[in-house]
Chains A and B, each alone.
Chain A
């Protein structure tokens, strides 16, 4: 493959990489930086790619490391470290004092049909955007990137107990948000 072809192929993946990075970092400058670093690393490491896998898969693998680096740097920021993650009141409202549901979750009708709809994913992104930053990062590292909880706690600089709590709050808030904004009542 000529160098020009390779550059053109990298540019074709840029939109996808930006969407991926912006989803995790929720900051367009940080996302742009992570994508730029990924593309530079890809250009420098083209020999490592040759025929090994799908280009997008290979680039995403590099991007994941850049995203985790950016999250680690942000988590060391003392201001972010003190952020209140919130979300416990929202969960308290779902249950009565004796631990029963205030309102039982009902089954969603044919949820997999939603996966074919672009507007569903837009609704999901809006629900994600409502989560506190660290809660959303923990959730996406786990469910989108497939990271193990041990790694997530380490990168976010939180205890493992708090990590499970963040993931729990994220899931409860998201299922409720999708219920209200997509699946209806």
Chain B
């Protein structure tokens, strides 16, 4: 079974909120290998997390 990009997008997000089952993680890895769009989305969402963690930390400006 393979996943569509819209299913992958949902799982990329869910994977940031809970540990996905191993078989889903394997399906995701297989998908990233053939789909640059979804691989980019994963990068974007993990960057978003790094950015938001720092959003209040800027000193008085």
Contacts and interface: CB of A to CB of B under 8 A. Distances in A.
Contact of A167 (B13, B53, B54): B13
A23 B56 contact: yes
Interface size class of A (residues with CB under 8 A): 35 or more
Contact of B55 (A100, A101, A124): A124
Given A114-B51, A171-B13, A172-B13, A99 B4 contact: yes
A54 to B, nearest CB: 13
Given A99-B5, A108-B43, A143 B58 contact: no
Interface residues of B, number: 33
Interface string A1-32: 00000000000000110011001000000000
Nearest to A172: B9
Q: Which of A105, A142, A179 has the most CB of B within 10 A?
A: A105
- Determine the main DSSP class of A at the interface with B: helix
A175 interface: yes
Interface string A96-136: 00111100111110011011001011001100000000000
8 smallest A-B Cβ distances: which pairs?
Answer: A99-B4, A104-B37, A168-B13, A95-B6, A99-B6, A105-B40, A143-B52, A175-B44
25 contacts: A94-B6, A95-B5, A99-B4, A100-B4, A100-B6, A101-B5, A101-B37, A104-B40, A108-B44, A108-B47, A111-B43, A111-B47, A112-B47, A112-B50, A115-B50, A115-B51, A115-B54, A124-B51, A124-B55, A149-B18, A168-B13, A171-B13, A171-B16, A174-B48, A175-B45
